[in-house]
Amino acid sequence: MNSSGPVSLETAGSNLAGVAWAALAVGIFAFIYLAGKLTGSSASAMQIMWLRYVGGLITVLALIIVSRTRRAELTTTQAPVHALRAAAGGFGGVAAVYAAANMPVVSASAIGLMDGVFTVLLGVLIFRERVSGRQYAAAALCLIGAIVVLMSKGALAGFGSSSFFPVAVGLAGAFSVAVESVLIKTLARSEKLLSVLLYVNIFGVLIFAPLGLLNWSWVDSQQLIFFLLLGPMAIAAQSCNIKALRHSDVSVIAPVRYVWIIYGMVFGWFLFGEKVTTVGLLGAGLVLLGGLWLALTRTSEARTHLGGQSRPPA
């Protein structure tokens, strides 16, 4: 948390809203990453990512036309930041898909949880966000709950030398997602929502076009439409992330990513008939408790410092 000015009551209570928006974004992205498994398609991760960005760009252009947004409102002076964000988010998603395809899914999920740790560290280093002992404890509770869920499903079992490269890719992907979170925070402070969404999808289409086409596999019309529809879904999730980061610090939002484990349990049970254990439910409860504690802790501390020094409203 930066120390640059007094906060209002509205700012003091904004962390709860930020956590809620972030949790919704995680749920949407959790479903998006199931795209290949849901369709049974042989499409490559690069191909799916490119089609997602194509669908996203079409959606944003339609929103711009319907809302009659003026061109002047869409100008940007941060094109390199938009491009880097598109690359970081895209490659983070591709890495997650690759890791899941080359090791047990629950093990890949355990590696992916490192993005929350990386995001908190980047928030502290780049934005000088202050994290108290209670906040670290709340984030640790989220992580413990996530690990309980993963271990109940046999996560981290069966690692060997053949898993080294997938693990390295998974860690690189987690760091890429953390970088994207920091870049979203930077852009959300200075640009309008439609502008942020427009440029990330433009650069996403450009960056992943050659990679997607080089790794292209034939898909039928229904699968093609489904992959394109991931674009509007990603737009919704990206909008939620931007709103979350306008309400709260990066270090608050990062541990909320652990609710992905809960979504994974629900989707696994509902879509694929995976068994939900008592231990898994206990872990899910710890994740929810830690997330709520984190949000309430930040809100409480903001109220305590009313009239003192804290970050300015985003």
Instruction: Tell me, yes or no, whether 196 lies in a domain.
Output: yes
Q: Are 230 and 34 in contact (CB under 8 A)?
A: no
Beta-carbon count within 10 A of 289 CB? 14
In sequence order, the 6+-apart residues with CB closer than 8 A to the CB of 300 are none
How many Å apart are CA 24 and CA 197, to the nearest integer? 17
In the predicted model, residues of the chain with pLDDT beneath 70 are 1-14, 36, 39-41, 100-101, 103-111, 113, 116-117, 127, 129, 131, 146, 149-150, 152-163, 251, 291-292, 294-314
How many Å apart are CA 239 and CA 222, to the nearest integer? 26
Question: Which residue is it, tokens 């080089």?
Answer: 214
> Taking phi first (over 0 means left), then psi (-120 to 50 degrees means alpha), and beta for anything else, what does residue 68 get?
left
| pLDDT for the residue 66 | 93
Handedness of CA 146, 147, 153, 156 (dihedral sign): positive
Count of structural domains, the chain: 1
Structure tokens at 217: 């596999």
Instruction: Tell me, yes or no, whether 129 lies in a domain.
Output: yes
Structure tokens at 271: 């879509």
How many Å apart are CA 304 and CA 9, to the nearest integer? 11
- Cα separation of the two ends of the chain: 12
Instruction: Tell me, yes or no, whether 314 lies in a domain.
Output: no
Indicate yes or no: pTM above 0.75: no
Fill in the amino acid letter for 225. Answer: I
Instruction: Tell me, yes or no, whether 135 lies in a domain.
Output: yes
| pLDDT for the residue 11 | 46
Instruction: Tell me, yes or no, whether 3 lies in a domain.
Output: no
How many Å apart are CA 234 and CA 97, to the nearest integer? 16
DSSP summary character for residue 308: S
| pLDDT for the residue 96 | 76
Instruction: Tell me, yes or no, whether 4 lies in a domain.
Output: no
Q: Give the residue numbers spanning the domain of 182.
A: 9-304
310 forms bridges with which residues in the sheet? 5
Instruction: Tell me, yes or no, whether 56 lies in a domain.
Output: yes
Instruction: Tell me, yes or no, whether 93 lies in a domain.
Output: yes
